Amino acid sequence: MRNLIIILVASALISCVGIPAEILKSKSAEYQFPILPSTESTIVYLISPVAYQDPSAYQQVKVNGINSKLYFGAYSSITLAEDATIQYRFNHNSNLVDAGQWNQLKVAANKNELFYVLKNGLFTQVYKEQAIAEIVTIEYRYCEYKPKPCEPMVYNAI
């Protein structure tokens, strides 16, 4: 009986994460990244998928002395003119929760777009198509229960 309950809960959570395939396909085909001013730099996108987390939980991101917050269900872009190390860790707005250990992501400035998705607490590089699918899912989840038309507010530039 216990195993059946675990299976039912897991399947319910899995079904909540995805979006209908036809919506994912159509929105992915028309998705455009924000227009950024420089093409002489590397643009790094950090994507933090929707998660069952307290809304006060986030990834603390440090790059070139700039500190920023990347909440679950959002994504950020970082424009780099030269090689850099991006530091990040789990953090929380509450002083009752300890911050995680710092992780490092070394990025070579090669005038391309690089895409990283947060998986199991670490940013993992993915192809552009997978990054778009993650962002479309985030935007869909953001607008799912809001009045239509909905403009998803899930992006910021660091």
Domain boundaries, the chain: 21-157
Q: What is the pTM of this model?
A: 0.78
pLDDT band at 3 (very low <50, low <70, confident <90, very high): very low
| Omega before 37 within 30 of 0, i.e. cis | no
Measured between alpha carbons, how far apart are the two ends of the chain, in Å? 48
The pLDDT, as a whole number, for residue 9 is 38
Report whether pLDDT(21) > 50.
yes
Strand ranges in 36-121 using DSSP code E only, listed in sequence order:
42-48, 57-63, 66-71, 74-80, 84-92, 103-107, 113-119
The pLDDT, as a whole number, for residue 17 is 52
Better-predicted residue by pLDDT, 48 or 13: 48
- Type of residue at 137: T
CA distance 69 to 53: 15
Report whether pLDDT(13) > 50.
no
